[in-house]
A and B are shown apart, each in its own frame.
Chain A
Amino acid sequence: MLGRAIAFVRAGVPVRRLRAYGRDGADAYDLFDRLERGPARAAAWNAYVCQTYADKLVQAGERIGLVPFDTVRMVRALYALVDAWLVVAQGGEAAGARLDLELPAWGTPVRSREQLVGMRETLYALRTCVAFDLQGRAEPGADLAAVDKALEAVDALWIERPSPELRGGIGDALASGIRKACVLGCELAGGG
């Protein structure tokens, strides 16, 4: 009840509206699994990263029923990227295309508790996916150490009521971990 009152005062977008917006990109989850290693799968991975990130941010706002406007901006930018990367993956345009995913920036240095929860869940999901993709690879090279280090840094700072300075540090570590997982996953999906 108190959470709803706070969200009303802060203002935001209802979770169900954002969920409807993200339904278009739900293919990203399946497509990544279906495709063989190569540029199309790498593009599907980028769509998967954006869909996961956006969904987790929305999910983190469920507790209070509303997603604040700064999160909404991020979520909408991510869903727009999902659509763009799905077109690349499904349309056969991936070969020869630049497959670097540039994740949208937040614009402010300190993240809210809910945003951090969403980012952390995203990093766990991407890490699991990358670890699964790494299984059975004979050649060494890409490894999870950098992603795990970012997760360790986050876990070390994760407390019940973090101060703004801590939230800033956790947010930086999470953003860095997500970027690293994203690059590693793209490399693996592309067959590198």
Chain B
Amino acid sequence: MGLFRPAKTVASPSGDYWELYVSKTALPGWRSSDAGDTGIGQAGALPQLALLELPLALVSFLWSGVLVPLVRMIVLLPVAVVRGRRSHAVRIEAITTFPERKALLWTTTDAHAPRVLDEIVAGLAQGKVVQPEGAVYSGTE
């Protein structure tokens, strides 16, 4: 069971390639803050001023688009890992990236995880999204 290595891979009849990840940890999402919206380049602003605002926009982007989400991730990740280790819940994510990214999520328990994973793989191999017993299908993430 690993966060970054697929437990299984499968190709559907339509050619979609799915990677299945089994983990106990729900990774916190990467969320940018809205503070980066500085309103640069809005109608009515002088072009000379816009040039001066460029460094400000870069700092603002780094702050709200990189630094804040990174700190949030660093703080929340250990909490998510500890919570996952204490729980008997298991997440199974099926991810395909082509032609567009799509992620499907099932949640099951330790006891049912191997069987549920096998049933999901068998279903995807036939081009179906199954809903095995002992698991909750939450749809696309």
To the question of whether A and B form a pair in one complex, the answer is yes
Please measure, in the bound complex, the distance between the C-alpha atom of A162 and the C-alpha atom of B108, giving whole angstroms. 9
How many residue pairs link A and B with beta carbons under 8 A? The number is 46
Per the 8 Å Cβ criterion, residues 37-52 of A in contact with B are: none
Specify which chain B residues have a CB less than 8 angstroms from the CB of A161 in the assembled complex: 86-89
Please measure, in the bound complex, the distance between the C-alpha atom of A159 and the C-alpha atom of B87, giving whole angstroms. 8
Per the 8 Å Cβ criterion, residues 105-124 of B in contact with A are: 105, 107-110, 112
Chain B interface extent, by class: 10 to 19
Chain A interface extent, by class: 10 to 19
Please measure, in the bound complex, the distance between the C-alpha atom of A157 and the C-alpha atom of B86, giving whole angstroms. 16
Across the interface, do B133 and A166 meet the contact criterion of CB distance under 8 Å? Answer: no
Across the interface, do A166 and B86 meet the contact criterion of CB distance under 8 Å? Answer: no
Please measure, in the bound complex, the distance between the C-alpha atom of A160 and the C-alpha atom of B91, giving whole angstroms. 16
Across the interface, do A166 and B89 meet the contact criterion of CB distance under 8 Å? Answer: yes
Kindly list 14 other residue pairs between chains A and B, CB separation below 8 angstroms, not including A160-B87, A161-B88, A166-B89. Answer: A157-B135, A159-B88, A159-B110, A160-B88, A162-B87, A163-B87, A163-B107, A165-B105, A165-B107, A166-B109, A166-B136, A168-B138, A169-B107, A170-B136
- List the interface of chain A (C-beta within 8 A of B): 152-153, 156-157, 159-163, 165-166, 168-170
